[in-house]
Amino acid sequence: MNKFWDNAEIAELQGKHGAVLAEKIIEWLAVSGDTREFHRRDIIADLSLIYDNNPDHKKLNYEQLNRALKTLCNAGIIEPSPTRTYGWYRPVNKTLIEQDIQSAEGDAADVWLPLGLSDVVKLFPGDIAIFAGTPNVGKTAFTLNVARENAAKDYEIHYFNSEMSGIELRERVEMFGAGWDAWKNVHFYRRSENFHDVIFPGKNVINVIDFLQVHTDFYAIGATLFEIHKRLGDSICIINMQKNPGQNTALGGYRTLELPRLALAIEGGKCKISKAKAWRNKEKNPNGSSCQFKLVHGHNLIPYNGIDFKWRSTLEEQTKGV
C-alpha cells in the first residue's frame, strides 16, 4: 500500500543530520540484542521505512538512512563490515571482560590423541584441532579412535558425520571389536553444514566434525572456524578436513591455521605436525615433527617400527646423514 507522508512525519525522519533515525537504529540494535552483521535492508524492513512511488519521498528516505548510518559510524557504534559488500554493517562491541590470570585454575585437558601425540602436545578447554588429510588416508580412523579412547576417559563425545550412511558408520565402529558399551558416551549425528549451530559447550565435552567440507570461497574458512570457536566454551573441537597432496594445510590454506591450537597434515602413511601451540616438553618444539604409521584393519593406527613422533632436530640430522 502506498503511503504519502505528512509534514510532521517528514520532519521526524529528517532530523538533524539523521539523528532521529540514528536513535531509532540504536534502539533497534538494543532490542534485538544481536551482535551479528546486518544489512541496511534489515533496518528498512524492521523499522518500516516504507518507500512509496513518490521519487522525492524515496530520495529523502535514502538520504536520511545514509546520514543516520554515517552518524553511527562516526560515533563508533557501528562500522562497515570488513568482509562483506556495500550495505553490510556490524555493531561495535567494546565490552571487555578482564582476566584474573593470578587466580586462573586448571590445566591442559586430559585428552587422548593417536600415535603418541598426547605425549607431545597439549589441548586446553576451548581449543580447536584440525586433522587435514588427502582422501582415503585415514582421517575417520583418527577421529573414531579419538572418540572411543576419550569416551573411556568419561568424556562426552558428540560426533558429527557428514558423508557416511548409518550402515557404513556402524561397520566402521564394529571394526574396533570393542562392543557397543565402549561407545556409550559417543553420540553420533548426521550433519554436513552450519556446525556452529549445534556445537556442544561444556567441560569434558569433545565435538568431532567428520568432516568440514569446503567447496568454494576457501578464504571464508577462517570465519567458519571462528563461529565454531565462539560456541565452544570449555569444550574441545576436532575437525577433519581435506587437503591437497603435498600441502601441509587444509583447503583454505593458512586461514585454517589461525585459530586451531593443533593442526596435523596426514598423507601417505605419514602424520606431520603443522602447528602446535602447547608443548608437553618446553625444551622440544614439536612443530614440523612427523610420524610414519600403518592403518591396520581400517581402525588400528600403528607407528612404523614402534617409533612415535620424531623431533624436528632428529629429522634434520637424518637428512644431513648424521
What residues does CATH 3.40.50.300 cover in the chain?
117-320
- What is the three-class DSSP state of 39? strand
User: What would the DSSP string read from start to end of 245-297?
Assistant: TT-SS-TTGGGGGSS-SEEEEEETTEEEEEEESSBSSTTS--TT-EEEEEEET
Q: Cell numbers 558423508 correspond to what residue? A: 163
- What is the three-class DSSP state of 242? strand
Instruction: Specify the CATH superfamily of domain 117-320.
Output: P-loop containing nucleotide triphosphate hydrolases (3.40.50.300)
What residues does CATH 1.10.10 cover in the chain?
7-91
What pLDDT is stored for residue 310 in this prediction? Answer: 63
Class (C level, CATH) for 7-91: mainly alpha
Cα separation, 202 vs 134, in Å, equals 31
pLDDT per residue of the chain (322 residues) written in tens, 0 to 9:
334 445 554 455 455 546 788 888 988 888 877 678 899 988 888 887 765 666 766 777 788 888 899 989 988 889 998 878 889 999 988 887 787 877 767 788 999 999 999 999 999 999 999 999 999 999 999 999 999 999 999 999 999 999 899 999 999 999 999 899 999 999 999 999 999 999 999 999 999 999 898 776 777 888 899 999 999 999 999 999 999 999 999 999 988 999 999 999 999 999 999 999 999 988 889 999 999 999 999 899 998 866 667 655 454 555 554 4
Quickly count: other Cβ atoms within 10 Å of residue 167's Cβ: 8
